[in-house]
Amino acid sequence: MANPADKTIRTTDYDALSCRFNAIRKNYLPDNYTTSMLSGLERLLKYESKLSHKRTFNAIVKSNKLPIINRGTYIRTRALDIVIEEFLRRFDGKCRVMNLGAGSDMRGFWLLEKYKDVEYVEIDFKETVRMKKGVVLTDEKLAGIVGAAYVKGDTQEWWDGLSGGLKTERYELVELDLRNVQALNSYLKEFDEAVPTLVLSECMLCYTESSVANEIIKTLKERLPQAALAIYDPIGGEGNFGNVMVENLKMRNLQMPSLLEYNTLEKYQKRLKDLGIPTVKGANMYFITNSWIDIDEQRRISKLEFLDEIEELKLLLEHYCLVLGYWGFDWELKLKFSL
């Protein structure tokens, strides 16, 4: 039987999707297939649970996010996209991007469209993968992008028979509980080692017991000879921020083991170094907003919604970080990580 704690972790993906949808609706971010994911969910959730599907769907699309949340979603998405583009530039687009706990994130689809040599891998729990597979197969455009056969006219019977991941020439959707490090190791053994890999973890490792998360990172380091790991996670900080967040998460039956353990940027970077990653850089999202986003774009963003809580936004952004480690290749990164 499915573990109820895992179900709670899986639902964090709907929060992320809801945040992205709000940021798109308010013009912070381009759509890039998020609304295709939403239409797919609306189509398929009805097969999952007849009683609650409307409630789940409405909770995603009808919740209005505060301006500071939209700003946070914007910079989180842009920062990872910038790292991806830098990695693709480094290898002329001939590389692989692997998203751990990809959930309903759709950035793989525009990347596959834009870069004709890139391979894209998404990993998540089996229930999440099943839903994403269903959405992709029943959307003609998405199925076309990944090169899968389009399913016209989904039915309950079709849904009931749907399982497993999806593998095409350049795209793979993998059902794997990443806490099963042996299974991850076996999966990575099948990889073509010659292809450089950028691994993304956007709010995934933070939900994992730290010792297990460290084993995941070690396995990636051992199995992938030329790779980078980009982690976006909250950091509790030295004030009260982390404790308040822990209390809020508790009310939702969620835990973030890394939040207080790796509570500063320095500790988070040391974590990766101690796991044998030779080059590690990191910055908080406040720094990244001011250093990676050009001034015209910053102005455009600041005009989208009235924001009174300037100090609150700074505090929030300072408690999320992007840490980037890499090994097995040289990278003249133009991105600034410290003053």
Ligand X SMILES: C[S@@+](CC[C@H](N)C(=O)[O-])C[C@H]1O[C@@H](n2cnc3c(N)ncnc32)[C@H](O)[C@@H]1O
Closer by beta carbon to ligand X, 41 or else 102 = 102
41 is in an annotated binding site: no
From the list 36, 73, 128, 258, which residue makes contact with ligand X (rule: CB under 6 A)? 128
At 309, list the tokens: 């809580």
Min dist CB 257 to ligand X, Å, is 12
Contact 28, 68 (CB under 8 A): no
Using CB under 6 A as the binding rule, whether residue 102 contacts ligand X is answered as: yes
Closer by beta carbon to ligand X, 211 or else 338 = 211
324 is in an annotated binding site: no
**Window contacting ligand X (CB under 6 A); options: 6-14, 146-154, 157-165, 320-328:** 6-14
At 20, list the tokens: 């992205």
Using CB under 6 A as the binding rule, whether residue 292 contacts ligand X is answered as: no
Using CB under 6 A as the binding rule, whether residue 207 contacts ligand X is answered as: yes
Using CB under 6 A as the binding rule, whether residue 125 contacts ligand X is answered as: yes
At 72, list the tokens: 């946070």
19-47 in b/e form (b: 16+ CB < 10 A) is bbbbbbbbebbeebbbebbbebbbebbeb
From the list 13, 139, 172, 233, which residue makes contact with ligand X (rule: CB under 6 A)? 13
From the list 21, 36, 105, 322, which residue makes contact with ligand X (rule: CB under 6 A)? 105
Contact 108, 74 (CB under 8 A): no
From the list 86, 124, 172, 233, which residue makes contact with ligand X (rule: CB under 6 A)? 124
Please work out, in degrees rounded to the nearest 5, the angle formed at the alpha carbon of residue 219 by the alpha carbons of 215 and 121.
115
The two beta strands, 320-327 and 227-234, are antiparallel
The count of residues interacting with ligand X (CB under 6 A) is 21
101 is in an annotated binding site: yes
Min dist CB 19 to ligand X, Å, is 8
Contact 289, 298 (CB under 8 A): yes
Using CB under 6 A as the binding rule, whether residue 281 contacts ligand X is answered as: no
**Window contacting ligand X (CB under 6 A); options: 11-19, 21-29, 139-147, 156-164:** 11-19
Residues 162-181 that bind ligand X (CB under 6 A): 177-179
Min dist CB 185 to ligand X, Å, is 14
Min dist CB 310 to ligand X, Å, is 25
If we measure between CA atoms, which residue out of 82, 79, 80, 37 comes closest to residue 60?
37
Contacting positions for ligand X (CB under 6 A) = 9-10, 12-13, 16, 101-103, 105, 123-125, 128, 177-179, 202-204, 207-208
